[in-house]
Amino acid sequence: MLGLTLKKLKVTSVTNDGVYSTEIPFYKGLNIIRAENSSGKSTCINSIAYALGLDAILGPSRRKPFPRSMHQFLESSKVDATPHFVSQSYVELEVENASGQYAKFKRDVEGDKDKVTVFDEKGTFEDYFLGSAGSVGSAKSEKGFHFWFERYLSWNLPNLVTHEGKPTRLYLECVFPLFFIEQKRGWSELQANTPTYYGIKGVKKSALEFCLGVENYNKKNRLAELNAITSDIEKDWDKIISSASSLAEFGGMKLQLECTLEKESFFPLISFLVPQQDKFTDINPYLSGLQTVLTDIKSNIKTWPHYNEVSELTAKKRALLRDSDSLAQKQEGFLISVQKMDNKVSNIALELDRYRQLKRLHDVGSEVNFEVEISSCPVCDSDMYDSLAKVPVKSKPLTVDQNIDYLKNQVDFYSGIKKRHEKDLTKIEKEQALLQTLIIKIQTSIDELKTDETAFIELYGKDLKRKIELENEVNGLIKLASKQTDFNERAKDLHNQWLKYTTELKTLRKKSTDDVSFNILKALKTRLIENLTAFGYKTANQHFLQISEQTLRPELDGYDIVADSSASDYIRIIWSYTLALLELGISQSSVKHGGFVVFDEPRQHETDKSSFASLLDKSSSLLDSGGQVIVATSMSVDELNSYELKKANIKIFKDGEYILKKEVNDS
Amino acid sequence: MNNDKELQHKTATAIFSDTGYPLPIELRPIWRIGLMCIAINAVGTGGISLKITKMRVLLWMLIRPQNWSDYYDSLHSYSNSVLSMSSDKSTDKAIELAMAKGFLQLDSETLTLGEEGYKLLQLVNDLNLFSSEVEFLLSIKNKVTENYIKRILGH
């Protein structure tokens, strides 16, 4: 299906000298614009892309795809070099879509570049923006020109992913380089001017798939998904093997792998083998054997019969030591008390001794009439009761005799306490001695039993040691065996998944040769070979050419054709492939073609005249089928005439004149 | 302790009597007067007179027989502790009593033995009383100088 038919192009530059413009009508079949170099030929060709908002396909450096005659100044002719300054310039392109709907696009070159005004046949118009408005681009917003243009073409561009895996879509700029061969870079390879700045993964192939209608994005996405899944499964599988391998190395085992992902049915993947003398045994039977040996050893093992006895004796010894401690504390208490009583008694005894001296003084003094008792004050005659201290009214001090008796009692009282405590001390000492004897006796028994135990261990200890060693080994092996089971369960799960997904993958891959795309590619190959034959392709036998399933581009013996072709043959390939796409667009409804191809200076590298003649012939033969071929060339008028093109629409600009001409004011 | 337990089970009876209370011997007037007389006799000038200040210090020492060894060590500079004393009203009372009863006489800060004093000394010698006190007084006699007294009393 052809998307567009170009009707007319008008390029206008408004200067201080008046309006300069040119109008080029287009027809079905071959359209040739002939002008000598530097006269504005490429300006016209580029204007087609520019009017469609497709500046990007003119090459990465074409920020301003126009010469200064469109935005600075122009000269009225090559003879008159007076500059006329440009105040405004714009291009207008009239087109028709597949259902015959007319539209005219007008876009400023000098002025508001980010806007395309769309006119319908009644002259009503609407503005659409280009580039991006905020975060939404022209292709995604309803007010964007490319959004409108995509629907005008009745195309539905697919959703794709970027190299980073983010969702994006195929843009119109990515498709049109298939139809538009610009002069500077366009001849260097197929799809030379496909923009890469969108970061779309496989953008050239996606553009071709879209154009040829062989795209099956669901299938393609599923294929990519399945490839990722199977690659993950392989990684997990390898991870199991590497974990098992480190575990085996750590545990002194040998690792045996008994299955691969490719095997049809699953066998346990991981087997740990235990080294045993000069051979290896599988871990599980080896473990059962060890467990049997361990049970035997456990049932035959002898335990020392006196363990309880020793612990009872030790407990008893501890209790006695506690008793001994508490006795020692009591003993200390009594010793302190005896000491205190001793001091007290000696102090009282001193006082008693002095009182006895006083009593003798009293006794003898009274015998010799010496007054030794002072009972009243010699000055005031008040009672003194034989005391230097003040005597309270209710109670009086003891007399000397009474005081002596009192002191005697005191001595007896404290001596009594002291004696009793001394008696208690003797008793405690005896108890303490008894306890110490008992403790020594028990310690002796314990020592004897310990000697017996040492002898017992010497005799039967080997079995005990073996038991402990075996228990450790068995525990280690149980862990390994359980790991082995884990690994195998995971591996089995992975194997099942692998089987499921690889089956789906195989089926999908097989399908790709049966579907409709196969026929399209076959047709593309046929057209390409026909064209190459017609255009005089020489490098290799064109019948060996294939359309690569991977790239959808022509390849020879598995290599991209550019590598093996001469420069002029490569130009023929670009002619042939580009025209073949147009032909498919005419004949196949599933092929989405822009409807026209543009060849700017197609006679590159001095391609021979007959080949070029064939190209022009072929192009003009498309007149009836509806496709448009637009060729811009600088060849001489004589040469052009020599091709005797009867069915072509040829626009000739004479040498020495510019394409932009001053408009004649009718008024 | 067993003794405590025994005490807990014994019934105690409170007895009230008018027997009076025991008196430390240094509060007996004649005992202190006796001490003063032997102090004059052992330490005093010519055995008959003694400064009242020195009497106060000596009496403070004499009624504290438990501390005699400390006082001795201090006076002979065997230890660094210095005697600390305060006023003792009983001593003053005893001096006044002794003067009233003719045991002592006071003449410008100096106590001299009176007639009764000599009699008492005679009895003391006869009965061989105050022997340990006299022994202590003789052991420190040479060390208890006027300067020492001034240092203690802060005069």
Lowest mean pLDDT among A337-341, A387-391, A430-434, A525-529: A387-391
Cβ-Cβ contacts under 8 Å for A339 (sequence gap 6 or more): none
| Helix B131-140 and helix B29-43, axial crossing angle in degrees, nearest 10 | 40
pLDDT at B1: 46
**Burial level of A343, CB count in 10 A (0-12/13-18/19+)?**
exposed
Is it the case that residue A599 has pLDDT exceeding 80?
A: yes
pLDDT at A135: 58
- Say if residues B113 and B48 touch (Cβ distance below 8 Å): yes
pLDDT at A667: 42
| Helix A567-587 and helix A516-534, axial crossing angle in degrees, nearest 10 | 130
- Say if residues B104 and B113 touch (Cβ distance below 8 Å): yes
B1, B32, B100: residue with CB nearest A388 = B32
- CA-nearest residue to A346 within chain B is B66
Query: Which CA distances in Å does A627 have to A93, A530, A621, A650, B38?
Result: 17, 18, 9, 16, 161
Kindly indicate the confidence band of residue A662, based on its pLDDT and cuts at 50, 70 and 90. Answer: confident
What number is the average pLDDT over the span A552-568?
A: 78
Lowest mean pLDDT among A419-428, A507-516, B58-67, B132-141: A507-516
Q: What percent of chain A has pLDDT over 90?
A: 42
| B contacts of A402 (beta carbons < 8 Å) | 19-20, 22
Is it the case that residue A604 has pLDDT exceeding 80?
A: no
Is it the case that residue B98 has pLDDT exceeding 90?
A: yes
pLDDT at A325: 96
Question: How distant is the Cα of B112 from the closest Cα of chain A, in angstroms?
Answer: 19
For residue range A350-384, list pLDDT tens digits in order: 999 999 999 999 999 888 888 778 888 887 888 88
- A&B contacts, CB < 8 Å: 94
- SS3 string, A199-259, reads CECCHHHHHHHHHHCCCCHHHHHHHHHHHHHHHHHHHHHHHHHHHHHHHHHHCCCEEEECC
> A453-486: b or e for each residue (b if 16 or more CB lie within 10 Å)?
eeeeeeeeeeeeeebeebeeeeeebeebbebbee
The DSSP letter of residue A142 is: T
CB contact under 8 A, A361 and B100: no
Is it the case that residue A125 has pLDDT exceeding 70?
A: yes
| B contacts of A400 (beta carbons < 8 Å) | 28
- In sequence order, what DSSP letters do the residues of B15-36 get, joined into one string? ------B---GGGSHHHHHHHH
What number is the average pLDDT over the span A128-144?
A: 75
Q: Which residue has the higher pLDDT, A300 or A109?
A: A109
User: What is the rounded distance in angstroms from the CA atom of residue A362 to the CA atom of residue A360?
Assistant: 5
What number is the average pLDDT over the span A281-296?
A: 91
For residue range A49-76, list pLDDT tens digits in order: 999 999 888 877 656 778 888 888 888 7
Question: How distant is the Cα of B131 from the closest Cα of chain A, in angstroms?
Answer: 10
Q: Which residue has the higher pLDDT, A224 or A483?
A: A483
B18, B24, B66: residue with CB nearest A395 = B18
Tell me, yes or no, if B15 comes closer than 8 A to chain A by beta carbon. no
User: What is the rounded distance in angstroms from the CA atom of residue A648 to the CA atom of residue A31?
Assistant: 6
| B contacts of A371 (beta carbons < 8 Å) | 101
Cβ-Cβ contacts under 8 Å for A151 (sequence gap 6 or more): none
Question: How distant is the Cα of A321 from the closest Cα of chain B, in angstroms?
Answer: 20
pLDDT at A278: 82
pLDDT at A132: 63
Q: Which residue from B31, B47, B27 is spatially nearest to B124, judged by alpha carbons?
A: B31
Q: What percent of chain B has pLDDT over 90?
A: 62
Q: Which residue has the higher pLDDT, A517 or A649?
A: A649
| A contacts of B124 (beta carbons < 8 Å) | 361
User: What is the rounded distance in angstroms from the CA atom of residue A660 to the CA atom of residue A75?
Assistant: 9
Tell me, yes or no, if A326 comes closer than 8 A to chain B by beta carbon. no
User: What is the rounded distance in angstroms from the CA atom of residue A90 to the CA atom of residue A619?
Assistant: 30
Kindly indicate the confidence band of residue B3, based on its pLDDT and cuts at 50, 70 and 90. Answer: low
B2, B21, B101: residue with CB nearest A395 = B21
Beta strand A132-133 with A4-15: parallel, antiparallel or unpaired?
unpaired
pLDDT at A179: 93
Lowest mean pLDDT among A187-191, A235-239, B115-119: A187-191
Q: Give the phi and the psi of residue A146 in degrees, each rounded to 5.
A: -70, -30
Q: Which residue from A160, A162, A152, A193 is spatially nearest to A176, judged by alpha carbons?
A: A193
Which residue out of B6, B16, B27, B31 would a mutagenesis test of the A interface target, given it has the greatest number of A Cβ atoms within 10 Å? B31
- Say if residues A602 and A612 touch (Cβ distance below 8 Å): yes
The DSSP letter of residue A31 is: E
| A contacts of B66 (beta carbons < 8 Å) | 347, 350
What number is the average pLDDT over the span A642-656?
A: 84
pLDDT at A168: 85
Tell me, yes or no, if B80 comes closer than 8 A to chain A by beta carbon. no
Kindly indicate the confidence band of residue A216, based on its pLDDT and cuts at 50, 70 and 90. Answer: low
Lowest mean pLDDT among A209-213, A376-380, B86-90: A376-380
CB contact under 8 A, B1 and A333: yes
What number is the average pLDDT over the span A129-153?
A: 80
> What's the complex ipTM?
0.88
pLDDT at B99: 94
| A contacts of B100 (beta carbons < 8 Å) | 378-379
Cα Rg, chain B, nearest whole Å: 20
- If contacts are CB pairs under 8 Å, which of residues 35-64 in chain B contact chain A? none
A365, A373, A389: residue with CB nearest B27 = A389
- If contacts are CB pairs under 8 Å, which of residues 338-357 in chain A contact chain B? 347, 350-351, 354-355, 357
What number is the average pLDDT over the span B49-68?
A: 93
Query: Which CA distances in Å does A655 have to A77, A602, B95?
Result: 11, 20, 163
Is it the case that residue A572 has pLDDT exceeding 70?
A: yes
What number is the average pLDDT over the span A404-421?
A: 94
| Helix A217-250 and helix A400-511, axial crossing angle in degrees, nearest 10 | 130
Which residue out of A356, A375, A388, A431 would a mutagenesis test of the B interface target, given it has the greatest number of B Cβ atoms within 10 Å? A388
Give the DSSP H or E segment for A423.
helix A400-511
User: What is the rounded distance in angstroms from the CA atom of residue A17 to the CA atom of residue A11?
Assistant: 16
Kindly report the average pLDDT of chain A as a whole number.
87
What number is the average pLDDT over the span A411-418?
A: 94
